[in-house]
Each structure stands twice: as C-alpha cells, then as structure tokens.
Structure 1
C-alpha cells in the first residue's frame, strides 16, 4: 500500500519562555535548504557518511519525494490551536510521497477454491474451455476422498493409486477443435523463448497424452524431454495451451508450416504429502514425507516453500524451535511442532510450493 504523508515544519527557540525569532529563522533556513537540496531520498542518499533513510526502510524500493506546498498566511493560521494564537508560527508545508507499506507476514490462511466458473466462450476457433483433475486425500479416521477440481490441481505423485482409479497426476483439458494439438506449458522457470515449452508426445511417452477434437488427457510428470535435454517440472502455477501446426502447399512445390495456438488456461501442479513420523515432545522433529516427483532441495524452490500447521505459519529456520521447519532431503520436510504427543487430535498440515498447495493432510496424534 502506498501512502502520501503531509508535514508542517516549524522551529522553536525560547529564552525565559519568550520566542527568539532570529534563531528560529536560522533553523528554518537550514531545514528549508536541506529539503530543497535533497528533494528525493532513497537508499543511496547520504549527507557526509550518514545514511538519511532509516535502515529498516532501505532495500525496499523506497524513494521518498519531498514536495513543497505553498500555503497562504491566512490558511496557515488554521493549523495552530488557541495556545499559539498570540503568535502564528513561522512554518513550511510539505508533502512526502510515496511511502510503501508492506503487508504483515501471513500467520493464518483460509482454505482454497476447487472450482471457478468460466462463462464467456469463443466459437469457431481452437479453444480450451476448462481444465480438470482430482484432489485426493484421506480425512482422519475416514475413507479416501476424491474430489473433482477445475481449474486443475495436478499432484506430482509419480506412483499414484492403483488402477482403475484416476491417478493424482491426471490432467484433462476440455475444449473444441483440439484435434492434432500438442500441449504447450508456460512458466517463468523455463529459460526458453516466451518461457514456453512444447510437450512432444514422441519424446514424452510417460506423459500418456491422448488427443481428440474436444478433449486432451495427460499425466503430468516431473520433467519434459526435449531434443536439447530435460526441463524439470516443479510445483507451481503454469499456463497451458494447445498448439497445432499445419503444412500449406505453395506454388512451385514449396510448403509452409503455419502454427496456431489456443487460448491459455492456468492450472496448478502441487506437491503431494504421503506420510509423517509420530509426534513426540513439543518441538521434537517430525519428518513429513512428500511423494516422489518434487525435488524440494532444488535451488529453484529456495525460499518458495511454505508450511502451515493448525493455521500457524511455520518459519524455515535451522534453530529447531517450535513453529519452524527445515528441508532435510529431496522428499522430506521436517517440522518442529508447537504441540506434543499429549495434544491428541488432528492437526491440519499445509504445504505450499511456489503458490501451489498440496491436497489436504492431517498430522494425527493418537
């Protein structure tokens, strides 16, 4: 949030409870000259060896613009209360902008939406209408639950449940005129033109891609094979579209490849929590296992992993204090819970990687 602040600058000097105007005039002159000479204050602003911007404000893209605001004498009198009516203070008026206020750190988070409506659809062109998957979880003391999710929330669980159940990594796209199309993924993590890669079925048979005119299904894996190598797929939010290439005959026996692409949808690739060790004392480490496919130690995920337990935000820290966690290996998050084995019940555990949240999971204390 950006703020504009308004200030009244004045000087006070007294001798035996009587103002000393000449000293006040000099002090005001120093202040006015300094604000005139430094109309913008940022991280690099110094007077001598002294940093002007407070250390807690530096490094946050703060650039404070100081603007002098002329005020008529009769208007300035309204700024002073009755105690000062014997003398209207010699004053200057300034506006300071823009001060950036950061939001408070997130301590609790709400649930997530599994379905979003899409009401405007073009016709007559290749078009993606919706993406679908399943969110699979087992509530404490209950049977497994499988909920449909649209937009899709595909879990990186390379093993998944045995057939004929729909796997956790199953992605379905519904639309029109999709025949012969190839999937195109977009992510800021892709070091490619337009941050896009094309999933070639011939190089990625493990994606199990099936295409019809109205539906495309695939199993999202932890990487896309390309002629130049393999691009990893991490949890996060991705854009997906469909690309169709056609050969057009030209005069003289030549041909030209024309590529068309559908609209783009957003979908989430999420981690999948499989198990956890028993809870002992408060703060004792509890490893939580994440399904194969999520490389938690990859540098691309540094600082992008969030953990919440009972709605409380846990901090990634090596101290081992309660309400902290560490990434101990590629598939384990070790938490130091704020409760112990005596806190019987079910404690919601939420893992979010690059904005994509794992399906619901509970740490159960018998």
Structure 2
C-alpha cells in the first residue's frame, strides 16, 4: 500500500524503538525513552535521534506496469522509495555517567532494530499494534530497516568538521516505501483478441460470447443492449455461440486467473445446450466455491459415447467478464446512499481492488461512517457512500463500481 506522509514511517520506527527499549531488562526500571525525529544537534534533552536525512528511488520499482492502459502516465504509478535514517543518542549532560546512559540507550535501540527489522500489520509491543495509532493498520504496509555498513573513515563525512567531536551514530535504510500516485480517473475499454485454430470435424468450437444488459436511463426509459464479449452480472444469462455442442453430456467450463484447472458449472447454473448455442445463468458459486467478479475464460466440454467408450472434447476458450451486481440504490438522507448487490468483499480481494466512482469523482474508502466523497463496505452484499460535496442538485450522474477490474452494469443517481 502506498502513502504520501513520510513522517508515518519515522513515527512507526520511533514508536517501535521506544516501546521495545522500555521493556528491555537492560533499560528497566528507567521510563520510556524519548525517540525524536529531530537531528541530534536540535535535541534539548536526553533521548535518541532517529533522523530522516536522505531519500532515494529504488531501482527495482522504477518501471512498474501501469494500473490501466488508459492511465499509463508516470503520475499514476507509485514511486518506490528507500529512506535513509541516522540514529544517534543524546546524553542528558557532559558527564561520563550521562554519556554512558546514552550509550546504553543506543545499544538497546540497535538490538530492537536487529531483532525486529520489519514493521507490518502484525507488529505489536505488549499487545498494542504499532500501526494502529498511525492509521496504517490494515493497509498492508511493510517497512524494513537494514543497517548500512559505514566505515569509521567515512563516518566523519556525516558530521561538520571543526572543533565539535564526532558523534556516535548508526545508519539505516528503510524500504520499500511507496509514494502515493495520482488516482486513476479513466479506464480503457475491454479488448480481447481472437485466435485462428484448426478443429477436427464434430469438435466443439466457440465463436463468441455475449450477454444482455438491462438498465434504465435517467429519464426513466428502459434500455437493453447486447455486450460481446460477455459482461454478465450474477443472475444474468451468459450465451456462447459456436458449433459442435452435441453429445450425451454438455458441460460449461469456467476458469479464472487463480484457478489451477477449469471449474465445471453445476446445476445451479442451469446450463442449456443446443448444437450451436449454450446458455447458463451465472451464480456466485460453483460446487460451493466462490466465483468473484473479474475476467474468466469460458469453454464447452462435450462427452460422446463411441463403441461403448466415452470420448471427451474441450473447445477453445473465449473471454468473458463476471461483473458485480447493483440490485438496489436506496437514499438514506443527508447525502448518504446504500447499494445492495455485490459481491463487494471477500478475503481474496485486496482493498484497492474495489473502487466506486460517481461521475468523474472517485470516492475514497472509509473504515467507519463515510464522510462526503467516501464509501464503506458494510458486508459482501452492501455498500454505503456519501456523495461528494459541491455537486449540483438535480444532476444525473453515472454510478460505477469496479471489483477486480470488472465494472457493474449502468446505474444513474440523481443528486439530491
């Protein structure tokens, strides 16, 4: 997950060091130490400076694939960063005992970053999650600190030459921190390619897939359009056309990107086959396994009996999309609306794979009651959102939901 506020990384490691050192047997019974983002020379009392002094772009993240072919500009891609920190102890005063105390703190801090070099959603100290007070919990961030080997002769370059003595310090590189990109505001149309293949006689061959989309225009006029390749919502009818759909048994096979093998549509899909046409009603599960929105490949498998032996043949694959359904759009007052349909949530879906747009505005996701321009996923079948501020009352705007790249059927909302 990307972020824009680099201070969250500094604060995360500062919290980790302070809490771990407080529990260290070598440090007790002393109180929790002060870990400051200020450079060492600006600290007014005893503590530890964890100072961000340099930033580099990581070479391995300079050329990521674009989030969408219609948004391939650099500003739409997250920037991978490596943050360089200098960690130095600040003694409370000039005495030897105070300097020894600072060196003890420094040793405890070194051990913390050696034992726990990575901070993620699971990192906790005494039952308290490090990311929770920073608002990063659940965003799937992973920050890893690595000690940079700096030779004694090179360490002097980090301090201003003169009468001031060199300071005790360690240098860390924290990676990979992804800087927030600009939100994607446009998506490319669906593009699929056809292949030319040779098939023996009487073998199943799929020419095309299509589906029917019913929706209502803002003026109340009902519309029906045919979409090919098919983009079918749950409960909608998928149609495959071709030839050779004959035999003692005809099966519809569906395969998604994460499937090890095609899945066979069960009785709930109500598959009806004719020699040149096959229809099926798309459901949320196949044999008890969830079918998420997204791109799939559809195939036809035929089984014939020849000389008392079953002969099985599988057709070529054609691309289809299974899209999230929007069954109802209900105003709740105060600019708040509820969407019933889905599915909008699943353990296999990442948070960034669910998007909601109203007109040209992309709404941000909220974990609590949504504010203006935000949406909250209540459960797999329900979303609540609040329209952005500044919209013109009476304006009709298209409502679009993208789940795993699949866009919901057309739906319009009139701004109250």
Please tell me the TM-score bracket, short chain as reference: 0.5 to 0.7
Contact 2:376 2:385 (8 Å CA) reproduced: yes
Distance 1:52 1:364 in 2: 42
Contact 1:222 1:234 (8 Å CA) reproduced: no
Name which of 259, 262, 269 aligns with 2:322: 269
The aligned residue for residue 197 of structure 1 is 264
The aligned residue for residue 218 of structure 1 is 279
Distance 1:70 1:52 in 2: 30
Q: Is 1:123 equivalent to 2:123 in the alignment?
A: no
Would the alpha carbon gap of residues 110 and 137 (structure 1) be closer, same or farther in structure 2, given more than 3 Å must change? Answer: farther
Distance 1:117 1:257 in 2: 34
Would the alpha carbon gap of residues 282 and 338 (structure 1) be closer, same or farther in structure 2, given more than 3 Å must change? Answer: farther
The aligned residue for residue 166 of structure 1 is none
RMSD: 5.5
Distance 1:45 1:330 in 2: 28
Contact 1:153 1:268 (8 Å CA) reproduced: yes
Tell me the CA shift for residue 267 of structure 1. 1.9
Would the alpha carbon gap of residues 132 and 28 (structure 1) be closer, same or farther in structure 2, given more than 3 Å must change? Answer: same
Q: Is 1:257 equivalent to 2:310 in the alignment?
A: yes
Tell me the CA shift for residue 59 of structure 1. 5.5
Q: Is 1:79 equivalent to 2:158 in the alignment?
A: yes
The aligned residue for residue 171 of structure 2 is 93
SS at match of 1:11: strand
Contact 1:243 1:261 (8 Å CA) reproduced: yes
Give the unaligned 5+ runs of structure 1: 159-168, 250-254
SS at match of 1:35: helix
Distance 2:88 2:380 in 1: 61
Distance 2:111 2:391 in 1: 66
Distance 1:332 1:91 in 2: 53
What are the residue-to-residue correspondences of 1:230-245 with 2, within 5 Å?
237-245=295-303
Name which of 240, 250, 253 aligns with 1:172: 240
Tell me the CA shift for residue 118 of structure 1. 0.8
Q: Is 1:13 equivalent to 2:77 in the alignment?
A: no
> What number of residue pairs does the alignment pair up?
327
Would the alpha carbon gap of residues 237 and 98 (structure 1) be closer, same or farther in structure 2, given more than 3 Å must change? Answer: same
Q: Is 1:348 equivalent to 2:398 in the alignment?
A: yes
The aligned residue for residue 162 of structure 1 is none
Higher relative contact order (CA 8 A, sep 6+): 1
SS at match of 1:29: helix
TM-score (normalizing by structure 1): 0.60
Q: Structure 1 stretch 341-350 or stretch 38-47: which is displaced more?
A: 38-47
SS at match of 2:265: strand
Q: Is 1:110 equivalent to 2:156 in the alignment?
A: no
SS at match of 2:399: strand
Would the alpha carbon gap of residues 58 and 102 (structure 1) be closer, same or farther in structure 2, given more than 3 Å must change? Answer: farther
Distance 1:92 1:329 in 2: 47
Distance 1:321 1:332 in 2: 17
Would the alpha carbon gap of residues 14 and 76 (structure 1) be closer, same or farther in structure 2, given more than 3 Å must change? Answer: same
Q: Structure 1 stretch 323-332 or stretch 147-156: which is displaced more?
A: 323-332
